[in-house]
Amino acid sequence: MKSATLLFGALIFAFSTLFAQNPAKIEKQLKKDISFLASDKLEGRLAGSENEIKAAEYIKGRFEKIGLKPDPFSTKYYDYFTFSPPIKLADEGNSLVVENIGLALDNSYYPVALSGNGSAEGTVLDISFGIVAPELGHNDLEGKVLTGKVVLLNLGSPDGIHPHSRYLKYHNWRERLEFIAKQAPAAIIAYNCADDISVKGLRAFNNLKQMELPIVYVTEVSTAKDLADKKVNLSVQLIHETKTGRNVVGYLDNGANQTVVIGAHYDHLGYGEYGNSLYTGEPAIHNGADDNASGVALMLSLAEKIVSNKNNLRYNYLFLAFSAEELGLLGSKAFVNAGVFKKFRPVYMLNFDMVGRLNSENDLGVYGNGTSQVWNGMLQTIDSADFKISRNPSGMGSSDHTSFYLSEVPCLHLFTGSHADYHKPSDDEDKINYGGMLKVLDYAYQIVLAADKMDDVPYRKTKSGSSRKAPSFKVTLGIIPDYFGDAKGLKIDGVSAGKPAEKAGLMKGDIIVKLGDTEVKDMMTYMNALGAFDKGDKTTVEVLRNGELLKMEINF
Helix (H) or strand (E) holding 138: strand 138-139
What is the Cα Rg of the chain in Å?
A: 27
Lowest mean pLDDT among 6-15, 195-204, 431-440: 6-15
| 553, β-bridge pairs | 540
Cα–Cα dist 396/10, whole Å: 44
**Average pLDDT, integer, range 93-122:** 93
Cα–Cα dist 77/68, whole Å: 10
- pTM metric for this prediction: 0.74
User: Is the pLDDT higher at 411 or at 278?
Assistant: 411
Q: Is 413:397 a contact under the CB 8 Å cutoff?
A: yes
Chain segment 479-516, per-residue pLDDT in tens:
877 766 555 788 887 787 778 888 899 998 899 999 98
pLDDT for 205 beyond 50: yes
pLDDT for 525 beyond 80: no
**Mean pLDDT of the residues in the chain:** 88
Domains recognised in the chain with CATH numbers: 2-78+250-465 (3.40.630.10), 88-239 (3.50.30.30), 479-555 (2.30.42.10)
Cα–Cα dist 520/514, whole Å: 5
Handedness of CA 375, 466, 277, 60 (dihedral sign): positive
Cα–Cα dist 166/173, whole Å: 16
Helices (H) and strands (E) in the chain, counts: 13, 26
pLDDT value of position 385: 81
Confidence at 70, pLDDT banded by 50, 70, 90: very high
pLDDT value of position 196: 53
In angstroms, the Cα distances linking 491 to 346, 428, 510, 514 are 36, 24, 6, 12
User: Is the pLDDT higher at 254 or at 470?
Assistant: 254
**Neighbour count for residue 100 (Cβ, 10 Å):** 7
Residue 444, amino acid? A
**At what angle are helices 50-66 and 294-308 packed, to 10 degrees?**
20
Cα–Cα dist 75/78, whole Å: 9
| 236, β-bridge pairs | 118
Pairing of strands 243-252, 78-83: antiparallel
Confidence at 200, pLDDT banded by 50, 70, 90: low
pLDDT value of position 508: 83
Own/partner long-range contacts of 181-184 (Cβ < 8 Å, ≥24 apart): 181/211, 181/212, 181/213, 183/141, 183/146, 183/147, 184/146, 184/147, 184/148
Closest CA to 120 of 91, 147, 138, 81: 147
Q: Phi, psi (5° rounding) for residue 363? A: -70, 130
**Average pLDDT, integer, range 107-131:** 94
Confidence at 216, pLDDT banded by 50, 70, 90: very high
Lowest mean pLDDT among 125-129, 202-206, 504-508, 512-516: 202-206
Chain segment 1-51, per-residue pLDDT in tens:
433 433 334 433 343 344 446 899 999 999 999 999 999 999 999 999 999
Handedness of CA 274, 242, 208, 268 (dihedral sign): negative
User: Is the pLDDT higher at 475 or at 431?
Assistant: 431
Buried-exposed string 172-211: b where 16+ CB fall within 10 A, e elsewhere: ebeebbebbbebebbbbbbbbbeebbbbeebbeebeeeeb
Peptide linkage before 207 cis (omega within 30 of 0)? no
**At what angle are helices 375-382 and 434-452 packed, to 10 degrees?**
130
Confidence at 476, pLDDT banded by 50, 70, 90: confident
pLDDT value of position 13: 39
**Average pLDDT, integer, range 269-273:** 92
